[in-house]
């Protein structure tokens, strides 16, 4: 009677091949001398231009060269791509945690709540600046217009109404010493100047942004009707998390899609200012120089092994294989 055969095939191997033994760190393309792409270069040029002074006709320093590059849509996209949301996310997390653990309402709690509002206004200001600089017809402009029109303008209106209520009822306190202060809207948001796309109204009569802000009535529905202010603030903080998710999510999508936006402005957008067109053309050509210098590791290894050690590649060796024939169990013999 035939039983199960536990004898393993001696030719089956699961070892590591020569290619699998190669360490990635030893590959010539593992580290490049210059790993910057055009996004990184535009970001660098924009920051560098803020350090270079502009001299007027009287040979006196008069501002810098930032506007020379910053107002171009490609530069704006590079700024978006380099945007790091981790710090402001940490600020929101710390603020919400502080309010959650607070026992009584004091100036510190009020300052934290104030910063949450102003962080959201800060993000709104960034999105507004990106929209104003983007050009109609480009994917960036279309994405911003759709996001603002369908979601953010309504949320911003609710935030303004709640902010007015909080200001009137002494829920807020300014604290410029907070470590998250760089991410707050510095000016009075109620006198800001936003694009009309943020206006959330059903009226057919044109209205200015300032008039629109003035027309928004304060609304305390964000705060609960609890007997103590600290409970009201905690309730408001929980509801504000939804607004944070929406605004941070909008920026995250733009950052994620920024490579495609930049590619479109480089390949299909012909309305750059002459100075920026020359700069972008130079950066495109600069890639060839980068490609050359990034081959220095390979050239060095080739020189060392081929010229110094004078090693030569081995001749090609044909593959070989061992074949074993076994008779089927029901066959006594077979002539090959």
Please say whether the beta carbons of 130 and 140 come within 8 A: yes
| Banded pLDDT at 41 (limits 50, 70, 90) | very high
Band the pLDDT of 301: cuts 50, 70, 90.
Answer: confident
Residue recorded with tokens 């060392």: 304
Neighbours of 233 (CB within 10 A): 22
Confidence of residue 17 (pLDDT cuts 50, 70, 90): low
In this predicted model, which residue has the larger pLDDT, 7 or 291? 291
Higher pLDDT, 28 or 100: 100
Domain extents in the chain = 73-271
Q: CA–CA separation, 256 vs 54, rounded Å?
A: 34
Query: Which of the pair, 286 or 67, is modelled with greater confidence?
Result: 286
Q: What is the pLDDT of residue 258?
A: 94
Task: Give residue 137's region: left, alpha or beta (phi > 0; psi -120 to 50).
Answer: left
In whole angstroms, give the CA distance from residue 105 to residue 229: 7
Mean pLDDT of 256-280: 93
Closest CA to 91 of 152, 163, 182, 222: 182
When pLDDT is averaged across residues 7-14 and rounded to a whole number, the result is 64
What is the C-alpha separation between 153 and 159, in angstroms, rounded?
A: 10
Q: What is the value of pTM for the model shown?
A: 0.79
CB distance 42 to 69 below 8 Å: yes
Q: Is pLDDT above 70 for 115?
A: yes
């Amino acid at each position: 009677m035939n039983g199960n055969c536990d004898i393993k095939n001696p030719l089956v191997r699961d070892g590591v091949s020569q290619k699998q033994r190669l360490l990635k760190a030893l590959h010539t393309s593992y580290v490049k001398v210059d790993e910057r792409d055009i996004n990184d270069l535009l970001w660098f040029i924009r920051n560098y231009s803020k350090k270079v002074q502009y001299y007027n006709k009287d040979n006196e320093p008069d501002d810098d060269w930032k506007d020379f590059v910053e107002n171009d849509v490609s530069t704006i996209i590079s700024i978006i791509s380099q945007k790091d949301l981790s710090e402001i996310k940490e600020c929101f997390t710390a603020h919400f945690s502080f309010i959650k653990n607070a026992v009584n309402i004091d100036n510190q709690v009020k300052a934290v709540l104030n910063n949450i509002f102003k962080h959201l206004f800060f993000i709104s200001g960034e999105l507004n600046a990106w929209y104003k600089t983007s050009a109609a017809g480009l994917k960036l402009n279309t994405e911003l217009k759709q996001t603002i029109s369908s979601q953010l303008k309504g949320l911003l209106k609710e935030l303004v109404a709640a902010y007015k209520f909080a200001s009137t009822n002494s829920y807020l306190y300014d604290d410029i010493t907070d470590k998250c202060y760089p991410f707050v809207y510095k000016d009075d948001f109620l006198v800001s100047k936003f694009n009309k796309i943020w206006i959330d109204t059903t009226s057919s009569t044109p209205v200015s942004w300032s008039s629109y802000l003035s027309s928004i009535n304060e609304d305390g529905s964000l705060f609960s009707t609890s007997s103590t202010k600290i409970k009201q603030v905690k309730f408001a903080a929980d509801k504000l998390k939804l607004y944070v998710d929406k605004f941070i999510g909008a920026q995250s999508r733009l950052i994620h899609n920024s490579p495609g936006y930049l590619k479109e402005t480089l390949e299909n957008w012909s309305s750059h200012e002459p100075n920026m067109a020359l700069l972008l053309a130079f950066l495109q050509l600069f890639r060839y120089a980068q490609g050359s210098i990034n081959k220095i590791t390979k050239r060095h290894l080739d020189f060392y092994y081929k010229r110094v050690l004078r090693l030569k590649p081995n001749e090609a060796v044909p593959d070989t294989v061992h074949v074993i024939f076994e008779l089927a169990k029901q066959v006594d013999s077979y002539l090959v």
